[in-house]
Structure 1
Amino acid sequence: MRRRERPPAWGCVPCPRSELRLDLVLRCGQAFRWRERGAGCWRGVLAGRVWTLRQAEERLWFAVRGEEEEEEEEQQEEEEGGGGSRPGPGPGPGASRSVAGTLRSGGEAQRLLRDYFQLRVGLAALYRGWAAADPHFRDVAPAFPGVRVLRQDPVECLFSFLCTSNNHLARITAMIEHLCQAFGRRLCQLDGEPYHAFPTLQALAGADVECRLRELGFGYRARFVSQSAQAVLRQFGPEGLHQLRSMPYPEARRLLCTLPGVGAKVADCVCLMALDKAEAVPVDTHVWQIARRDYGQQLGSGAKSLTRRVHTELGDFFRRLWGPYAGWAQAVLFCADLKQFRQVPSPGVRTRRDQAPSAAALPRCRLSPALEAAPGDSGTLCTEAAPASGAPAVELHSGARRKRACGEKGPFRGQLAAPSPLPPCRRRCRRGAAPGYTSPAPQGVL
């Protein structure tokens, strides 16, 4: 019997736009796996469930498709088909279980969203404090309200930012999606697109990971991903990165910098966005330019490049200026300086204050047999393989005269079903240089 569609249940969390702007937070380079599926409609995977988010002036609306809901619909279908009774205008045989499941998961869904967006932190009060201490922030911030820092899974955050070195946003997004397709657990298929969990440490520490990642076009980053996964398991254990949340910021940062491929900037990104270190200030060439242009900071005794000393001095300067949430303030100015946001920022979709979005916004999500066989298992953040909305269509090293970059190979042709190609590198490697991409420091990666 064909499964009958049931409108999704929408829930909401009180959250004004001054506290959260989805169109800014999900596009500024903190996370790479959310997609805007239509105007103002964002879709991703959190805690093993597919989420659709929409924002009103005072509320954050969400709808969730999870395995519990799918199992309940299967039970309802069996009872309706076996009993031979036609459902009347009132609740059907499975309605009580469905409503109960929705109520049971409603509080948990709200808790997950509050934790992910760190809604316990009052952003408006922080803005006022930063504006009082910093005239430049006071001039910039009114056009960029609601920019807050996400609280991500430490493993996903670490290995995502390992892919950002000498890279640009479109290619980072494609690389992480290919990583999940190759090594992550398949969750479900939605609108013809597969959803995969982020790979586990054990999956990334396999013997063939580096080779497969090089075939996927990761270049020299393939070695860092493989070796860092092995090092985390060896030094910290499967849950070791979560334990860093209870450590002081300098110690957590020092331990992260011992991992292969992890420098000061990547370590600070993980500390800020996954380990609850709000004082961490990720510094790259883009932030260095902001410091020199807008604050007149010529740090590092006239250094020509972003040395570890410059990184430390810039972080200390911003911590003295902005206080214990300095990393959050830096995220606002970083977002304001991105080319895509330099014009008047998009206000997003306006929804009536207390009206839930249309049920048609959430399509069907069919679980894979493997996931149905393990109902208690849950994944981390992931989403479909389709490129971000508005991203240009690109091909990997296309054209007769285009040479393949050093250390780069075509897409993996093993178990993956024709993955979308990675965006090309922007500059060819010079002979003798380290393999990989040498494009300028990207914008849009915090």
Structure 2
Amino acid sequence: MATPAGFQALPLPLIQLSLAAVLKCGQSFRWSILPFPTPSDLAIPAQEYRLCLRDRVVCLRQSQTALFYRSAFPDPQPSPTQLQLREAETLLWLNDYFQLDVDLSKLYDEWAARDTVFSGVKERFGGIRMLRQDPWENLISNTPLRCSLHDPSGHETHTYHPFPPPSVLAAPSVTATLRSLGFGYRAGYIQKTAQILVDAHGTTEAGREPSELWLESLRGLATAGARAELLKLMGVGRKVADCILLMSLDKKEVIPVDTHVHQIAIKHYGFKGSLKGKSPMTPKLYEDVNSKLVNVWGDYAGWAHSVLFTSDLKSFASYGVQDHTPSSPLKGSKRSRVESLLPTPPTTPLPSPSKRKASSVPLESSNEPDTLAERVKRLRRK
């Protein structure tokens, strides 16, 4: 596949990163997926994935062998020299966000050697790695501030929303605003958590806020110490804390345990319990399941768990399964045979628009949950 116009190419095989899986398996819900018309010589539609950062929208596409990226900026547009520097910043961000310094293929081989269950899903669910998300964004979730982006056809402009800093969500009026947007009782938790952080660490006029930097500094603590700090925050329990530890704070061995993970342990790893009923998640049960699975997968147990978790989701039931329905791509087209192997994001139902009254980004905000705890709940099997 040729590099799309306006994009930069980063050589990266699907076995190291599958956007269709990683960006739809419950780690992050702020990515938009923009489909494009399917060329006659392609067996699948093309997708572009977009995420709004503080000062730019990052746009990604993927082939079997490369990740394509570009950045879009609000006006005034950067000069050619500035644009080159900013694209270099985007590449640094991509390497950090997707943790591309970690050889995922090697980890898959190690997990498969340790675990026959993992060996059975290794090929079909390749390329699932842990994102390294911003800790503040992982703690809280929603939408103000705007920048616009023209779609590649040049006919539409979409409005994108970067994540609000703590000082914005700490304002007393935020609770009522979030309730009007359908957040219910969580509105108070969000505002109070932001207020606690701002009161403890202060604010700043520009750049990242002190409380954001403090959350990021927890990466330097041991797992137990970082968890203890997170548990002091409003509305944060053990599972949410462990999600943040794994997905934002570099604690690669941590496994967030819920009923779904418990059932995986019962079904595949000889853990005692019933698959029919939901056992109460006591602290002892949580620790026992965690210890069992860490013993199976080792130092990167949290990463391995995300692969098994994804493979067990109903929304991924057809993921990676080749469609053998006869098709009629252009005769002799090597491109069609290669591109047909590229996985597409699973289809997941979106919540009713009536549940969110505010005007929203068409491609982005309609499927964004309220909190990290809600993220996993939305993906659990019925």
Q: Gaps spanning 5+ residues in structure 1: where?
A: 1-6, 73-97, 161-178, 354-387, 398-409, 426-437
Quote the residue 1:93 is aligned against. Answer: none
Counterpart contact for 2:15–2:104, Cα < 8 Å? yes
Counterpart contact for 1:133–1:321, Cα < 8 Å? yes
Q: Distance in 1 between matches of 2:66 and 2:248?
A: 25
1:187 to 129, 147, 154: 147
Residues 1:261 and 2:269 aligned together = no
Q: How does 1:301-312 map to 2 (within 5 A)?
A: 304-312=279-287
Quote the residue 1:115 is aligned against. Answer: 96
Pick closer, same or farther for the CA change 1:11–1:68 going to 2, 3 Å: farther
Aligned to 1:318, the other structure's residue is in SS state: helix
Residues 1:101 and 2:82 aligned together = yes
How far apart are 1:194 and its partner, in Å?
1.5
1:315 to 271, 290, 304: 290
Counterpart contact for 1:151–1:273, Cα < 8 Å? yes
| 1:329-370 CA distance string (max 9 Å, x none) | 00000111111212242689x9969xxxxxxxxxxxxxxxxx
1:124 to 78, 84, 105: 105
How far apart are 1:185 and its partner, in Å?
2.0
Quote the residue 2:352 is aligned against. Answer: 394
| 1:59-93 CA distance string (max 9 Å, x none) | 10112112587143xxxxxxxxxxxxxxxxxxxxx
Q: How does 1:159-174 map to 2 (within 5 A)?
A: 159-160=140-141
How far apart are 1:192 and its partner, in Å?
3.4
How far apart are 1:187 and its partner, in Å?
2.2
Counterpart contact for 2:57–2:149, Cα < 8 Å? no
Counterpart contact for 2:266–2:272, Cα < 8 Å? yes
Quote the residue 2:14 is aligned against. Answer: 17
Task: For 1:133, give the aligned amino acid.
Answer: R
Counterpart contact for 1:228–1:260, Cα < 8 Å? yes
Q: Distance in 2 between matches of 1:201 and 1:439?
A: 20
2:169 to 184, 204, 212: 204
Count of aligned positions: 327
2:53 to 46, 50, 57: 46
Pick closer, same or farther for the CA change 1:317–1:217 going to 2, 3 Å: same
Task: For 1:211, give the aligned amino acid.
Answer: A
How far apart are 1:189 and its partner, in Å?
4.8
Quote the residue 1:251 is aligned against. Answer: 225
| 1:375-398 CA distance string (max 9 Å, x none) | xxxxxxxxxxxxx9874573437x
Q: Distance in 1 between matches of 2:302 and 2:48?
A: 27
Counterpart contact for 1:281–1:327, Cα < 8 Å? yes
Counterpart contact for 2:58–2:69, Cα < 8 Å? yes
Task: For 2:175, give the aligned amino acid.
Answer: E
Quote the residue 1:29 is aligned against. Answer: 26
Counterpart contact for 1:264–1:311, Cα < 8 Å? no
How far apart are 1:255 and its partner, in Å?
1.2
Counterpart contact for 2:54–2:163, Cα < 8 Å? no
Name which one, 1 or 2, has greater alpha-carbon Rg.
1
Counterpart contact for 1:23–1:346, Cα < 8 Å? no
Aligned to 1:142, the other structure's residue is in SS state: coil
Counterpart contact for 1:232–1:240, Cα < 8 Å? no
Counterpart contact for 2:60–2:67, Cα < 8 Å? yes
Identify the range of structure 1 (250-259 vs 185-194) with the bigger mean alpha-carbon deviation.
185-194
Pick closer, same or farther for the CA change 1:68–1:222 going to 2, 3 Å: closer
Identity over aligned residues, as a percent? 36
Aligned to 1:132, the other structure's residue is in SS state: helix
More relative contact order in 1 or in 2 (CA 8 Å, sep 6+)? 1
Quote the residue 1:216 is aligned against. Answer: 181
Quote the residue 2:196 is aligned against. Answer: 231
Q: Gaps spanning 5+ residues in structure 2: where?
A: 36-45, 151-155, 202-209, 324-332, 337-345
Q: How does the TM-score come out when normalised to structure 1? A: 0.66
1:442 to 373, 378, 382: 378
Counterpart contact for 1:249–1:271, Cα < 8 Å? yes
Quote the residue 2:206 is aligned against. Answer: none
Residues 1:153 and 2:113 aligned together = no
1:59 to 66, 88, 105: 66
